[in-house]
Amino acid sequence: PQTIYLKDYTPAPYLASHIALTFELFEDRTIVRSEVTYRRNPASSSDTLVLNGQDQVLLAVERDGAAFDGFTLAEQKMVIEQAGEQFTLAITSEIHPETNTALEGLYQSQGTFCTQCEAEGFRRITFFQDRPDVLSTFSVRIEADKQRYPVLLSNGNLQESGDLAQGRHFTAWHDPFPKPCYLFALVAGDLVRIADTFRTQSGRDVDLHIYVRKGDEGQCAHAMASLKKAMKWDEEKYGREYELDLFNIVAVSDFNMGAMENTSLNIFNTKLVLAHQETATDADFISVEAVIGHEYFHNWTGNRVTCRDWFQLSLKEGLTVFRDQEFSADMNSRAVQRIDDVDQLRRLQFPEDASPLAHSVQPDNFIEISNFYTMTVYEKGSELIRMQHTLLGADNYRQATDLYFSRYDGHAVTINDFVQCMADASGRDMSQFFRWYKQAGTPSLQASGRYDANNSRYTLTLRQSQPDTPGQTGKQPLLIPVAVGLLNADGMETHATQVLEMTEREQDFTFENVASRPVPSILRGFSAPVKLSTDLSDDDLRLLQLRDTDGFNKWEAGQTIALRTIQRVMADAQADTSQFIEDFGALIEQGLRKETDKALLARALSLPSIAVLSQAQEVVDPASIDQARTSILKSIKQAHKDALVRLYEFNSDDGAFSITPQAMGRRALRNVALELLTVSNGTGCAARAKAHYAQANNMTDRVAALSCLADSIKPERDEVFTDFYERFKDYQLVVDKWFALQAIANRAEIFEDFAKLRRHAEFNIRNPNRVRALYSAFAVNNPVKFHDPSGQGYALVRDAIIELNAINPQIAARQVTPFREWRRYAPALQSQMQQALQSIMETPGLSNDVFEVVSKCLK
Ligand code: B3K
Ligand code: ZN
């Protein structure tokens, strides 16, 4: 496998300002004809045209209308040397979507033809310069059987449609905005359409269509409402209007990731479109809204302004994640959104940054770009945009994005170009900030305070350090925005939030007019993606937990206290936790008051996850973390059972279902109470969870009940799981939940259960959602059993990776991530993880995708 380097970037030798495509879709083959006029690119010194092509049977090549063979075919490339100034190439090839299990390029999902071209799927459709800096307008003609495929869609506007001989028909599409081929899309199927319209700020009406399989049309209202909210939000917050007349969303069941922002024809995983209270949880509703927003926002950040090369992926992804997070914060609760986003960053990105797969947000090299759609590029990338927003302030940030859009609409640019807009609009020098894009690893930030009573002065000393990561040592200090406020001993805020700009390795910041020893609230809103450690005492943290004005830090203080408590118990099972348990009781009492923010309290009443706790361990042993964590949960239940019952009852359903943030908060709080009440897995617990399930009028409560029963060995477990399956077996997304909820069971029977699930008639290794429901749920959310000392957990994931390698390399490579931190585990686990990786490495016919991640893990 070949490594590709950012430093080797050169402009495309040829421009391709327009491409005309014709698709003839049949059951056993698809014929694709492309016609492109190539013109030498003045920015390039080369006259060798290199077209990428993969898994195609080449049928014919014509140059300027005559048969042509002046090319060589090598390694998925067609090369034409000394190709000339300007000429037209027409290429016809045969492809096989009906046997395409990689789900890249053109493929079929349950009888619907659909495409996925990002990053490099277009080369499986026709020979073309498959790189994001080649921008073309597209005309597309699609021909197919009319009865089987009444709906034929592509990007842009419908130009023409009509009937053909032999029961076939066609549509013709034109997309007037030049785009890279990774944004091309085609859909052909028998789908139903939900229609609505949106009037833009300038008064144009845009048709909005969502296409789903028959029977799913009742689950689209939330997606449609979310789309309209997103369109309005982008006008208000970024001044961005949608400029085509049509916006289509198509939902398909077989999809490698969440969704794809193809111009005016977004293709989605059904999981991120369909939502109804009976079948979708509150978390599902939230993610549908977020991802509908995310893909829509790409219209400007990604499509109208796109990436020069794939090293710039975070240009569109980091920025668009930031945009969707802010959209969600505006639509729901800002503090809750921030807590959930940071929690996700810590659970999933921090470990990546601490692993052999650590890479910078703008990577320097890759083997397979699909492996770089990572939490680092997306979520850390979003944190980098957020810091720029913090440093510039909202007004300058908006000026900078306006500048970015006006400067680069219709261009393929770099992250550097984006950051330069931040610099130009604000007059700030962003060069030190740019190091965030180039240095991998999560920085550590240490804070210690000194109070000088004589001068009423408080000095905060901050120290930063950057860990070494593969290929990177001796890193430079970063520009870190540290948002700090001060509280006095009574919990009053005496100094409002101030953003300290740290630029040195170690730096003092002084606060004047501090009348008494303060308690600092540091890194408010998680103003930078760092690991913070402070010299705050448990009492200081308790004060912050109760009185901080910053919702995020209030939660964070509680989490830090919990972390310290769990660590004490891990060090000594007899450690005194009485203070913690008592304080926890006071928190529970808060839930009995009407005015309490229930969503925030639900999060305050949740202990840090094993994934987060693992990061604080020198040598990770999930079983011992789980033991300590569970023993504290049991003590909480013992001490506060009555209060928890009251909390559960006080927050019981008030009748009509709704998805307002308040209603979601109430359900979350009640389900946290349920979880605490059922932690001991006894007879009473099972009965309580079963009753909760039986009374549920929505999926959130049903899933909560099932997850409380998952570890149980009581008969109620099977009763409820069986009922759930029977009730929802026609809903694929709910069957996914049924698989996942069993895969996360931390109980002795898990390996027999797992084997049964793997053989279940409804398990299908070709369907990525099902693979994620069974294998990712197990490996990521069942850390105790994945890391079972017997090695059975590792073995079953290893076998799946080997099997998937030949079916769907992208999905196979994803399944490797739970192994990446193998060196951090206790020796007995470590060597078994290493062996699993090694045996994957020895698999014949290893894909580039899997090769890259496994070889990097072992290095
Ligand atoms: N841009 C796509 C991701 C494509 C992944 C390709 N392997 C979805 C998104 O981030 O919006
Ligand atoms: Zn995206």
How do beta strands 265-269 and 259-260 pair?
antiparallel
SS3 category, 117: coil
Report how far residue 791's alpha carbon sits from residue 794's, in angstroms, rounded to the nearest whole number: 5
Q: Which ligand is nearest to the CA of 262?
A: 1
Q: Mean pLDDT throughout 345-351?
A: 98
Ligand number nearest CA of 373 is: 1
Task: Give me ligand 1 centre to Cα 857, in Å.
Answer: 24
Q: Taking a C-beta distance cutoff of 8 angstroms, is the pair 829, 784 a contact?
A: no
Ligand 1 pocket, 255 CB below 6 A?
A: no
Q: Same structural domain for residues 856 and 747?
A: yes
**HEC secondary structure over 791-831:** CHHHHHHHHHHHHHHCCCHHHHHHCCHHHCCHHHECHHHHH
Report long-range pairs for 418-423 (Cβ below 8 Å, ≥24 apart): 418/315, 418/319, 419/388, 422/388, 422/392, 422/397
d(CA 536, CA 518): 11
Q: What is the mean pLDDT of residues 10-31?
A: 98
At 280, give phi and psi (nearest 5°): -125, 140
- H/E run at residue 396: helix 394-408
| 282 in a structural domain | no
Neighbouring residues of 527: CB distance < 8 A, sequence distance ≥ 6: 387, 390, 481, 482, 483, 499
Total number of domains in the chain? 4
Average pLDDT value for residue range 755-779: 98
3-state secondary structure string, 288-304?
Answer: HHHHHHHHHHCCCECCC
Residues 401-412 as b or e (16 or more Cβ within 10 Å = b): bebbbeebeeeb
Model confidence at 654: pLDDT above 80: no
Residues 364 and 317 reside in one and the same domain: yes
* Mean pLDDT along residues 555-583: 98
CATH label of the domain that carries residue 152: 2.60.40.1730
Pocket mutation for ligand 1, best pick of 257, 263, 320, 323 (most atoms within 8 Å of C-beta): 257
Q: Which two tokens stand for residue 279?
A: 């079948």
Within this chain, do residues 315 and 398 fall inside the same structural domain, yes or no?
A: yes
pLDDT band at 653 (very low <50, low <70, confident <90, very high): confident
User: What is residue 128's DSSP assignment?
Assistant: B
Answer yes or no: do 415 and 481 share one domain.
no
**DSSP string across 637-666:** HHHHHHHHHHHHHHTS--SS---SHHHHHH
Q: Is 430 in the pocket of ligand 1 (CB under 6 A)?
A: no
Give the CA distances from residue 81 to residues 9, 13, 70, in Å, rounded to whole numbers and listed in that order: 19, 11, 8
**Cβ of 272 below 6 Å from ligand 1:** no
- Report the share of the chain in percent with pLDDT over 90: 99
Write out pLDDT tens, residues 603-639. Answer: 999 999 999 999 999 999 999 999 999 999 999 999 9
Phi, psi of 207 (to 5 degrees): -80, 130
Q: Which amino acid is at 214?
A: K
Q: Which residues contact 232 (CB under 8 A, 6 or more apart)?
A: 198
Does the C-beta of 295 come closer than 6 Å to ligand 1? yes
Dmax (CA) of the chain: 94
Q: Computed over its alpha carbons, how large is the radius of gyration of the chain?
A: 28
- What is the CA 468 to chain-centroid distance, rounded? 25
Task: Determine the average pLDDT of the residues in 439-449.
Answer: 98
Q: Which of 156, 190, 224 is the last residue of a domain?
A: 190
Protein residue whose Cα sits closest to atom 9 of ligand 1: 260
CATH number, domain containing residue 755 = 1.25.50.10
- Is 673 contained in some domain? no
Centroid of ligand 1 to alpha carbon of 124 (angstroms)? 17
Is there a contact between 786 and 778 (Cβ–Cβ < 8 Å)? Answer: yes
Output the residue whose Cα is nearest ligand 1's atom 2.
260
Which distant-in-sequence residues (6+ apart) come within 8 Å of 31 by Cβ?
22, 23, 24, 59, 92, 93, 94
Residue 260 in any domain: the answer is no
Could you tell which of 179, 261, 296, 366 is best to mutate to test the pocket of ligand 1, judged by most ligand atoms within 8 Å of the CB?
261
Q: Is 655 exposed, middle or buried (0-12, 13-18, 19+ CB in 10 A)?
A: exposed
pLDDT of residue 655: 79
- Say if residue 502 is in the same domain as residue 383: no
pLDDT classification of 61: cutoffs 50, 70, 90: very high
Strand ranges (E), 311-443: 365-366, 412-413
- Residues in CB range of 667: below 8 A, 6 or more apart: 282, 651, 698, 700, 701, 704
State the CATH number of the domain containing residue 404: 1.10.390.10
Q: 644 near 676, Cβ under 8 Å?
A: yes
Residue 194 beta carbon below 6 angstroms from any ligand 1 atom: no
Catalytic site residue from 104, 118, 289, 295: 295
How would DSSP label each residue in 24-82? EE-SS-EEEEEEEEEEE-TT-----EEEE--S-EEEEEEETTEE----EEETTEEEETT
Which ligand is in closest contact with the Cα of 315?
Answer: 2
Does residue 387 lie within any of the structural domains?
yes
Task: Please tell me if the CB atom of residue 266 comes closer than 6 angstroms to any atom of ligand 1.
Answer: no
Nearest to 384 by CA among 442, 300, 470: 442
What is the number of the ligand closest to the CA of 316?
Answer: 2
In the predicted structure, residue 401 carries a pLDDT above the cut 90 = yes
Give the helix/strand (H/E) hosting 19: strand 14-25
Residue 783 confidence (pLDDT) above 90: yes
Is 455:466 a contact under the CB 8 Å cutoff? no
Indicate if 111 and 161 belong to the same structural domain.
yes
How distant, in Å, are the alpha carbons of 280, 686, 705, 719, 732 from that of 724?
13, 15, 11, 9, 13
Q: What pLDDT, on the 0 to 100 scale, is given for residue 549?
A: 98
Phi, psi for 180 (deg, rounded to 5): -70, 155
Which residue, of 169, 190, 211, is where some domain finishes? 190
Residue of 603, 606, 673, 604 whose CA lies nearest to 637: 673
Q: Could you list the residue range(s) of the whole structural domain that residue 378 is in?
A: 306-438
Which of 151, 22, 179 is CA-nearest to residue 92?
22
Residue 816 lies in a domain: yes
Mean pLDDT of the chain: 98
Q: Is 373 in the pocket of ligand 1 (CB under 6 A)?
A: yes
849 lines ligand 1 (CB under 6 A): no
Do residues 339 and 357 both lie within one domain? yes
Q: What does the pLDDT look like over 450-506, one tens digit per residue?
A: 999 999 999 999 999 999 999 999 999 999 999 999 999 999 999 999 999 999 999
Say if ligand 1 is within 6 A of residue 294 CB. yes
Contact (Cβ atoms closer than 8 angstroms) between residue 668 and residue 662: no
The contacts of residue 350 (CB under 8 Å, 6+ apart) are: 442, 531, 615
Contact 230, 395 (CB under 8 A): no
Look at residues 298, 86, 106, 265 and name the one whose alpha carbon lies nearest to residue 174.
Answer: 265
In whole angstroms, give the CA distance from residue 858 to residue 820.
8
Helix (H) or strand (E) holding 504: none
Pair 457, 364 in one domain: no
Q: Please check whether residue 170 lies inside any domain of the structure.
A: yes
**Is the domain of 465 the same as that of 431?**
no
Residue 102 clears pLDDT 80, i.e. is over it = yes
Residues 398 and 453 in one domain: no
> Tens of pLDDT along 414-433?
999 999 999 999 999 999 99
Q: Does any domain span residue 581? A: no
Measured by CA distance, the residue closest to atom 6 of ligand 1 is 118
Task: Please tell me the distance from the alpha carbon of residue 261 to that of residue 253, in angstroms, as a whole number.
Answer: 17
Hey, which residues does 233 pair with through a beta bridge?
A: none
Residue 419 alpha carbon to ligand 2 centre in Å: 19
Instruction: Examine the pLDDT at 84 and tell me if it is beyond 90.
Output: yes
Q: Which residue has the tokens 């593969």?
A: 470
Q: Whose CA is nearest to atom 5 of ligand 1?
A: 118
Nearest-CA residue for atom 10 of ligand 1: 317
List pLDDT tens digits, range 234-255.
999 999 999 999 999 999 999 9
Whole-number pLDDT of residue 805: 98
In a shared domain, residues 491 and 389: no
Q: In angstroms, how far is CA 755 from the centroid of its own chain? A: 29
DSSP code, position 186:
E
Model's pTM, two decimal places? 0.99
> Could you identify the residue written with the tokens 């099997």?
803
Q: Tell me which residue has its CA closest to atom 7 in ligand 1.
A: 370
Residue 450 is inside which H or E element, if any? strand 444-452
117 lines ligand 1 (CB under 6 A): no
Half-sphere exposure at residue 135, Cβ-oriented, CA atoms within 13 angstroms: 20
- Which tokens hold the place of 10? 């050169």
Nearest-CA residue for ligand 1 atom 8 is: 260
In order of 679, 696, 711, the CA distances from 715 in angstroms are 16, 20, 12
Our answer on whether the CB atom of 267 is closer than 6 Å to any ligand 1 atom is no
Q: Is the residue at 221 inside a domain?
A: no
CA of 257 to the centre of ligand 1 (A): 7
Helix axes 415-426, 431-438, angle to 10 degrees: 160
Residue to substitute in 123, 373, 847 for testing ligand 1 pocket (most ligand atoms within 8 angstroms of CB)? 373
ipTM above 0.95 for this complex = yes
* CB-based contact 697:657 (threshold 8 Å): yes
Closest approach atom of ligand 1 to CA 317: 10
470 shares a domain with 424:
no
Q: Clarify whether 295 is annotated catalytic.
A: yes
**Which of 129, 158, 190 is a domain's end point?**
190
Q: How far apart are CA 793 and CA 836, in angstroms?
A: 10
Q: What's the rounded Cα separation, in Å, for the pair 480 and 486? A: 19
